[in-house]
Amino acid sequence: MYVAKKFPRNDSLSAWVGLLPARQARPALSSAVTVDVAIIGAGFAGLSAARRLSQLDANLRVAVLEAGVVGEGATGRNSGFIIDLPHEVSAEDFGDTSTERARRDITLYRSAIGLATDMAEQYGWGREILDPCGRYSVAISAKGDAHIRTYAQQLKGLGESHEILDAQGIYAVTGSRLYTSGLYMPGTVMVQPAAYIRAVADSLRSPVSLYENCAVLSFQKQAGGWLLKTREGSVSAQRIILATNGHAQSFGLFPSQLLHVFTYASMTEPFDPRRLAGKRDWAATPALPMGTTVRRVSGADGDRILIRSRYSYHAGIEINDGHVQSAGRVHDGKFADRFPGLLGLKMQYRWGGPMALTWNSVPLFGEIEPGLISACACNGLGASKSSAAGIAAAEAAMGLKSPLVDILSKYDSPKKLPPQPLLSIGAKADLKLREWRAGRE
């Protein structure tokens, strides 16, 4: 029997949730039901799996069990990049990656984009939910400029579309004089993550059922499948897809294999778009790993800037307001550097969100034991990697030998982590070193 020792806790309010009307959550399970597949978790992985299962068999009975309210967990704390290309704009990181591995990653990421864009077209979602605007990578130093040029050469070798921008070119996009160069990649899709995941959830139709505020307390093997128990109900299922990312460890799974890292973001109050030059909607990742991600988001009440930076390790999978406020002070400095013309503009929202990493950056994907399939360990890039893992988990649950299942099944096994307290000491030191290397980026 796998018994949950704890459940996800989210104290700070993500801007993406705060900017939406309060959600009317689906009722929790209050009876005993029987399904073909039970999915634990209604984030990128879980709902992508549910969508894919319904495509594969419209008559398949599926129960999706979400511990909280859809969009208010880790997914709604994401920055909203569903990228299509390897993330790091870095000679070191990309240079060690073979062309074969790059193409494999691109296949995974584009499966996530395909799922999202197909739904947007089918249901008529607007750009306030999904915007196929591409992304920029931006530099503020000679080192960052060099990494952008190197990465552009790698993209050229892969035959991938891109455009290098000089300082004036990236200023025309961002309105920031700090950036010294940029690289535009058109394939990324940007989402309002809380709005997107709500829309995916609300698109599900019978015989797929979604239960919110419905934490799974335990699950165990039984004749013919699995039995999952919630506070007021139970589910008998032939198969389970575990889409809980780092919280899989709360059930006692993957001991000594997961690193729990939080990243942080702040978003401004709205401002008159005439105060800042450049485009009104754009998204940029940093040239150097562990640098600063920035988005400008337009709205009816004005525009807002998102700043994402700072990482911290927490073995207990929880942070507090002090961690969020500490990161927020860093964000304030990053914002002031990039947008001095917006002096006096305050941050309205600050929040943190968890990532689940393995030491060698491999996913925890596949059949743990018969009928129990994992789609965990996003290793960052949750919108892309977790969505792809969810699609592949659905295909694996149906016995398909698809390209995605093949790719995810061929990763190395995760390396075992050092014991505590060495793990905490090493993880925190490594994050500090990486942030130091990123510098002002």
Q: What are the average pLDDT values for consecutive 10-residue runs of the chain, which has 441 residues? A: 90 95 97 98 98 98 98 96 76 51 93 98 98 97 94 92 98 98 98 98 98 98 96 98 96 96 97 98 94 97 97 94 96 98 97 95 96 95 96 98 96 94 93 88 89
Using CB atoms within 10 Å of the CB of residue 29, give its burial: 0 to 12 exposed, 13 to 18 middle, 19+ buried.
buried
pLDDT value for 90: 38
- Hunting for tokens 């306030």 — which residue is that? 128
| CA-angle at 206, arms to 200 and 211, nearest 5° | 65
**Contact present, 238 and 36 (Cβ < 8 Å):** yes
Q: How many CB atoms lie within 10 A of CB 389?
A: 34
Q: What value does the CA radius of gyration of the chain take, rounded to a whole number of Å?
A: 21
Which residues lie closer than 8 Å to 395 by C-beta, 6 or more apart? 52, 56, 402, 404, 405
Which residues lie closer than 8 Å to 371 by C-beta, 6 or more apart? 221, 225, 226, 238, 239, 240
Question: What residue spans define the domains of the chain?
Answer: 2-77+194-256+359-416
Q: Could you give the angle at which helices 99-123 and 382-397 cross, rounded to 10 degrees?
A: 80
pLDDT value for 94: 34
pLDDT value for 426: 94
Structure-block tokens of residue 114: 């395909």
Under CATH, which architecture does the 2-77+194-256+359-416 domain have? 3-Layer(bba) Sandwich (3.50)
User: Any idea how long the chain is?
Assistant: 441
Strand order from edge to edge, sheet including 135-139? 163-166, 181-185, 135-139, 282-286, 293-299, 302-313, 259-268, 347-357
pLDDT value for 353: 95
> What stretches of 4-47 adopt beta strand conformation (E)?
32-40
Q: How far is CA 196 from the centre of its chain?
A: 12
